[in-house]
Each structure stands twice: as structure tokens, then as C-alpha cells.
Amino acid sequence: MAEKVQFAKMNGLGNAILVADMRGRTDRVSPQAARALAADPATAFDQIMAIHDPRAEGTQNYIDILNADGSRAEACGNGMRCVVQALAAETGRRRFTFETPAGVLDAEEHADGTISVDMGRPRFAWQDIPLAEPFADTRAIELQVGPIDAPVLHSPAVVSMGNPHAVFFVDDDVWAYDLARLGPLLEHHPMFPARANITVARVTAPDAITMRTWERGAGLTRACGSAACAAAVAAARTGRTGRSVTVTVPGGPLAIVWRDDDHVVMTGPAEWEFSGRFDPATGAWQRDVEGAA
């Protein structure tokens, strides 16, 4: 049995996160461990953010990201805020540069406790998202679910925020759609060879969006930071909003700015729940005793 590692159960607007301290180790959190932890109601999570020693010069850490089904993800904005809060509390540092599977990103904890994460540049070329076939214009692709003459959802905007997203803009309540049924169908649609995060979004003002997301590898979540960024970018790109918006997810609001330098910056909170230790090979875990030395 591998030596257990410290973890913190946290959340970013209800997006359930486990932050695991894998520094000083050469192993990784296994898919089996992830699935075991996700199956336990006490440690159920949407993503594991595993903090490793830095690999790239100029970065503080490498972040390995796992979904609840044991698959690995490229990006997780809400999870990055949790990482920043945990490391800021430990080190007193406020600004960080991390390497992730999606690339290098900067993050900062503010005096009010909110955390900004630079999610990088969105990518719109069909092969970068990726899609299974070429589309010259990814602001609305030919894809629908439901009857041909009355589709339930259709013509999503698609974008990569380091991971693939399909955003369906609707004119009515985002809760009117059975995303628990439609999400898995669309996540695994042949159009998305790497699967996709599926979002239903409604623009409620030139600077406001309400949305829900079925997360690839995690299912329905209360918040998905990269999806909020994807929806904001897609809305601005299609003229529905400006480049600075408040995106309200089931867990609460996120501030998203698509800057002039093409970088997308997300700002929001993170919350600590409890800590413990788990075996990164099996997922066997124990909770820390509060107040213990």
C-alpha cells in the first residue's frame, strides 16, 4: 500500500473538489483511487486537483486533474481556485504560476478572498476543439438532439478552453432542459472524439449569462469554471454580450473577462470543508481529527 497523501475537500461555488498534495512523490493518483473516492458520499467530488512538484521552469507546481470517472481532464477553473486558496493558506503567497495539461496559467488570491485564474486563450478551429469533421465557422455548428423539425437543442457554439465545450444558447429557462438525459448523449456524440462538456446557456442581459453544465467525466455539477469561460467567450463571439460578463451557475456567480490580449480571466470564491489522507493507489482514506497536532 502506498503511503497516504494529504488532501483537502473543498468546493468552488459547489463544484466539489479534492486537492491532493502529491509533492515529493513520483506516483500519480490512479483512476481506481479516483473512482473509489467519488463513490464515497463523504469524499464524492467532481475533480481531483493533484499538486505535484514543478516540471517547467518558472512555475510553482504541476497540476494533474482527474474526473470522478477516473478519466483525466485538461482544465478545471473552479478546481484551480481551490488549489490557490490551499497553497496561499500554506505559504502566504498570493500569486502563482502553474503548469496544467492545458498549458501554463497564472492565478492570484485577492484581499477579499476571491481568486482570479487566467484560463488562457480560447481556441476555435475545429481541429483544436476537437471536432470529428471540419467546420469553417464554430460559432454555430450543425448538431441537434430531438426531432428534425423541432429539435430540443441545436446549433451549439463550440470552443476549447483547454478542454472541449459545446454551448447551446436558449431563450427560455435553462432548468427546462433535461440535462441529466441530454448531457450524456451529447458528451459522447461522435462529433466530439475527445467527448465534450455540454452547457445550456441563456443570455439575460448584455453582461449576464445563466447556465447549467453536464461536465465530461463528472456529470451534472453546480459549477464548471471552464464552461463558464466557454459560454462567455461564445456569447461575446456571437454578439450576444460584451467581453465582460457575470455568469451565474447553479452554485452562484462568476466574473468572466475576455481581455483584449485574448486571455480569459475568471474570478470567484473557493471554500474549504475538511481534510484527510488517502492512498493514491486505492483511494482508501481517513479524515483528519480536527484540533489534532
Instruction: Give the active site residue among 20, 36, 76, 201.
Output: 76
CA atoms of 81 and 10, how far apart (whole Å): 10
Nearest to 224 by CA among 232, 213, 235: 213
Three cell numbers, residue 110 = 485577492
Count of other CB atoms within 10 angstroms of residue 44: 13
DSSP three-state, residue 45: coil
Handedness of CA 90, 93, 95, 100 (dihedral sign): negative
Active site (annotated) includes residue 76: yes
CA atoms of 81 and 65, how far apart (whole Å): 13
Count of other CB atoms within 10 angstroms of residue 60: 18
Active site (annotated) includes residue 229: no
Instruction: Give the active site residue among 224, 228, 254, 270.
Output: 224
CA atoms of 263 and 273, how far apart (whole Å): 31
Q: Check: CB of residue 224 under 8 Å from CB of residue 232.
A: no
Residue type, 274: F
CA atoms of 136 and 141, how far apart (whole Å): 9
49 DSSP β-pair partners:
19, 65
CA atoms of 164 and 259, how far apart (whole Å): 20
Nearest 5°: phi and psi at 173? Answer: -60, 130
CB under 8 Å to 61, separation ≥6 — which residues?
23, 51, 52, 53, 54, 83, 87, 96, 98, 99
Catalytically active residues, by annotation: 76, 224
